[in-house]
Amino acid sequence: MRFEGRVYYDFSPQVWRFYRFLAAAGQKGADLRLDWRSFLADDDPQSATGLALVESVRRNAPEKHGAFLQALLALQNIDGADLADPRTAAAAAEAAGIAGVIDPSPEAVAASTEEGRMFGVSGTPTIYRHGPVLRVEVNPAAYEGDVLERLNRINAVLEDDGLWVLQKP
């Protein structure tokens, strides 16, 4: 199955869970074609710093963007790393195969956030494809069982512009 769209993200726990869900779907054969875009929903300094670092890599080494984002997410969520610590950026750069210093790009975060707001993004993770945006929150149970069927459901909701809210408490 092919799954595509633009994912607006930050460094919140919901994004990490969604990322892990997508990784599980990819391991089961999903063809993931996602464009990850920064979105600063609140004044969280960890997210602001991480997003600015990732945007710098997007601008200066676009082929390393995904690997750098993955490394930062893992460092923060597995190792508890502080995204404002320059050693965290250096470790993520090393893991992604990036040489040199990464200068944060907060202006690119502001532009991406504004673009997302124009599409209707208000929180993360949110997917934009061609119609109304879809905010997706998963719990750890989403990584197990039939992850491709779950991804198919998300895909179906993205394609059905008549569905606006599905929510379980």
Residue range 87-101, pLDDT digits in tens: 999 999 999 999 877
Q: Closest Cα partner for 4 from 119, 121, 130?
A: 130
**1 touches 155 (CB < 8 A):** yes
The rounded distance, in Å, linking the Cα atoms of 85 and 45 is 12
Amino acid of residue 95:
A
- The model's pTM is 0.93
Please, what are the domains in the chain? 2-159 (3.40.30.10)
Residue 162 has pLDDT above 80, yes or no: no
The sheet with strand 134-135 has its strands ordered as: 31-38, 2-9, 126-128, 134-135
Q: Per the structure block, which two tokens stand in for 104?
A: 């944060």
Q: Looking at residue 163, what is its pLDDT?
A: 67
Handedness of CA 6, 12, 15, 16 (dihedral sign): positive
